[in-house]
Amino acid sequence: MKITLTKNGQGKLRVRALLAVFSLSLVFVFFALSCCQSDSLLSKPPRYVFLITLDTLRADYVSVYPQAKAKTPALEEFARQGISFDRAYSPIPITAPAHATMFFSLPPHQLKLYNNGQIFKLGGRDKSPLVSLSQIFQSENFATAAFISLGVLKAKFGLGRGFDFYDDKFPPERWYLTAAEINQKFFAWLENFTAKKAFIWLHYSDPHDPYAPPATPDDVELTVNQTGKKRFCLRKMEPLHLNFQAKPGRNTLRIKILEPHPEGKIRLRLSQIEIKTQNGLKIPFSINCFDAYEKDGQKFWLIREEATLSFTSPGDDLELNFQAHPDMFWTIEEQRQAYRQEVEYLDSQLKALQEELKARKIWEESLFILAGDHGEGLGERRTRFGDFHFGHIHFLYEPYVHIPFIVSSP
C-alpha cells in the first residue's frame, strides 16, 4: 500500500491512498498499541480507543473532502486533529461482511462471508481460529464494548467475539437505532465504567435507509368518520395500521397525503388492505382512489392526494382494525435531500459525542478511527429493470464503495 502524506498551512495532515477497508485493523492496532514516536499522530498510547463505523456513508457527503454534498463539521473536527484518507474503498458494499473485514483483516472471499444474515463461522482457512480486533485489545487488558445500531450486526451473526459488553437490543417495532439512541446507550454504559482503558465500537447507521432523521414530519393521515385522526411517517417505515371504534351502519376511512408528489404523480400505492374485527372477521370495503390495478392475483390501489374507504360495520360499536402495505414514491431529488439530512443529523450526534467525551475528560486520552463500511447509490445507476437504484449491495461503482476514513487523536 502506497501512502503519500502532505501537510497544509494549518498543520492538517491529508492522506491520499488506495486503501481497502480490510486493512483497517492493522492500521488501528499500529496506532493504538505501538510505542509512538514523537513525530507520529500520538505522543503516548491512548487509554481509550474508539472504532466508529459510519454505515452507508458516502465520502462525497462528508465535508472533510472537496465538493462535499453535505456539511459535517464534527467529522471535520476529527480530521483536523488527525489524518484523513481521501481514497479509501470498501471491499464489499454489504454491512456484515464489510465489518468483518475490519475486525479480521481479511477480504470477504477468504472469510467466506458474503451477505447479511449469514452466520459467520470463525474458523480460519487452515481451520485454526481467527483472532479479531476486539480480542487483540482484550489481550492488551483493554475493556471492550460495542453498541450496534442495525439488526444485521447482532452478536448471533458472529462479530460479538472478544467483547465484554455487546449491546444489540432493539425496540420490538424497529430493526435500527438512531445515532442519539446509540449515544444514550453508550453514555449510560460510561456511568458504570471503572476500568483503566477501553476499546469501544460505536456503530451508527443513520444514512442507511429509511432516509428519515428523527425530525422527519408525518406524511399520511387517516381519518375515521371525519373525526378520529392519526398520522404516520411512512418514510420511517412506520406500519400503516389503525384500531378504531366503528359506528353502526356505514363508515368511512379517509387516507390523506400530507405532502403530495411535487410533480403531481402518484405518491402512495397500497396493497393487502384489510379491515377486520377483533376475532379476525374480514369486512368488505370499497375504495375511491386515483386508480387501481391487479397483478399476479394481488390488488394495488394508487393514491395521488387522498382516497376514501367505505364499509358497513357488522355490529354496533365494534372495535375494528385497518391495515395495509404502503409503498411511497419519491423523486430522486427528494431522496438525495433526505439522505443529506440523515448525514447531517448523524454529524450532529457525533458532535454530541465529542462534547460528552470532553466533559468526561476522555477526549484528550483517546484515539478515534472513523470509517464507512460502504457507500450508497442515490439514483446514479439503474437496475436491470430500468429503475433508478437507491441502496447498496448490488453494485461496485464509486458511490457504493468510496468511503470516509479518518484516524484522529486530540
Rounded-to-5 percentages of helix, strand, coil across the chain: 25, 35, 40
Q: What is the pLDDT tens value at each position of the chain, 410 positions in all?
A: 233 333 333 333 444 343 444 455 555 555 554 444 334 456 678 999 999 999 999 999 999 999 999 999 999 999 999 999 999 999 999 999 999 999 988 888 888 888 887 777 765 454 557 888 999 999 999 999 999 999 989 988 888 889 999 999 998 878 899 999 999 999 999 999 998 899 999 999 999 999 999 999 999 999 999 888 999 999 999 999 999 999 999 999 999 999 999 999 999 999 999 999 999 999 999 999 999 999 999 999 999 999 999 999 988 888 999 999 999 999 999 999 999 999 999 999 999 999 999 999 999 999 999 999 999 999 898 888 888 888 888 889 999 999 999 999 98
- Verify cis geometry, omega within 30 degrees of 0, for the bond prior to 210: yes
- Return d(Cα 160, Cα 164) in angstroms, integer: 9
φ/ψ of 187, rounded to 5, equals -65, -40
Q: Taking a C-beta distance cutoff of 8 angstroms, is the pair 371, 102 a contact?
A: yes
pLDDT, residue 128, reads 56
In the chain, the amino acid numbered 54 is: L
Q: Taking a C-beta distance cutoff of 8 angstroms, is the pair 223, 256 a contact?
A: yes
pLDDT, residue 140, reads 92
- Return d(Cα 404, Cα 376) in angstroms, integer: 12
Q: Taking a C-beta distance cutoff of 8 angstroms, is the pair 140, 198 a contact?
A: no
DSSP, res 168: -
Q: Which domains does the chain have, with CATH numbers?
A: 3-211+333-408 (3.40.720.10), 220-328 (2.60.40)
Q: Which residue has the cell 431529488?
A: 333
Beta bridge partners of 323: 241, 274
In the chain, the amino acid numbered 124 is: G
C-alpha cell at 228: 378520529
| Sequence-separated (6 or more) residues with CB below 8 Å from residue 393 | 93, 94
pTM, full prediction: 0.87
Q: Is 5 exposed, middle or buried (0-12, 13-18, 19+ CB in 10 A)?
A: exposed
* E strand segments, 129-288: 143-147, 165-167, 198-204, 220-224, 228-232, 240-245, 249-257, 268-277, 285-288
Burial 159-173 (b: 16+ CB within 10 A, else e): bbbbbeebbbebeee
Helix (H, G, I), strand (E, B) or coil at 410: coil
pLDDT, residue 41, reads 57
Kind and range of the H or E run holding 405: strand 405-408
- Return d(Cα 352, Cα 166) in angstroms, integer: 22
Q: How far out from the chain centre does Cα 243 lie? A: 30
